[in-house]
């Protein structure tokens, strides 16, 4: 058996494939329980160091990621690693950027892009994906970068 999240733990989103990904806000304390094996931090500046494997996607608050290809690569890594590891996505508050990234990972998992925001709002947090441009980003998100 793989060592992933408890599906009922706070902030854990179950994707249609059964993969579990935790979303959280970095301004809140680290939740009790096991630590992540891998995390992607969605921040406008360098994240603080952590004791697990992580990567940083340059993504300012209330905005969109600075590098689409890097973001696609990072979210693809989240999706792949979530099959066997505890993976988390996190931004400052855990709603806008985290919700947007979770919705994009849901698209990678087979949720139609037009339905991904509703999927995440229903299963993760009802206020996830905060801005109109974040919603548009998810609707246009595809597994392959566009030129």
Give, in order, the Cα–Cα distances in Å from 142 to each of 37, 93, 122, 138, 146. Answer: 26, 25, 21, 8, 8
Q: What was the pLDDT predicted at 143?
A: 65
Residue 120 has pLDDT above 70, yes or no: yes
> How far is Cα 89 from Cα 35, in angstroms, rounded to an integer?
13
DSSP state of 11: T
Q: What per-residue confidence (pLDDT) applies to 3?
A: 80
In the predicted model, is pLDDT for residue 1 greater than 80?
Answer: no
The topology under which CATH files domain 12-139 is 3.90.190
Report the residue count for the chain.
Answer: 147
- Using DSSP's 3-state secondary structure scheme, residue 14 falls into strand
Give tens-digit pLDDT for 106-116.
999 999 999 99
For 22, 69, 101, 113, 118, the CA distances from 94, given in Å and listed in that order, are: 10, 22, 10, 20, 16
In the prediction, which pLDDT does 147 show? 38
Say what the pLDDT of residue 144 is.
56
d(CA 75, CA 31): 22
Q: Which of 1-10, 82-91, 133-142 has the lowest mean pLDDT?
A: 1-10
So where are the chain's domains?
12-139
Are 77 and 55 in contact by the 8 Å Cβ rule? The answer is yes
Per residue in 15-73, pLDDT tens?
999 999 999 999 999 999 999 999 999 999 999 999 999 999 999 999 999 999 999 99
């Amino acid at each position: 058996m793989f060592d992933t999240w408890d599906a009922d733990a706070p902030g854990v989103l179950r994707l249609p494939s059964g993969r579990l990904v935790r979303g959280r806000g970095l301004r809140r304390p680290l939740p009790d329980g096991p630590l992540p094996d891998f995390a992607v931090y969605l921040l406008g500046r360098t994240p603080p160091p952590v004791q697990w494997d992580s990567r940083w996607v340059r993504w300012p608050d209330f905005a969109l990621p600075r590098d689409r290809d890097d973001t696609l690569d990072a979210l693809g890594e989240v999706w792949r690693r979530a099959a066997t590891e505890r993976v988390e996505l996190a931004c400052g508050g855990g709603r806008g950027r985290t919700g947007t990234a979770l919705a994009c990972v849901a698209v990678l998992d087979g949720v139609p892009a037009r339905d991904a925001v509703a999927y995440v709002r229903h299963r993760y947090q009802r206020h996830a994906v905060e801005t109109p441009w974040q919603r548009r980003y998810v609707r246009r998100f595809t597994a392959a970068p566009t030129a």
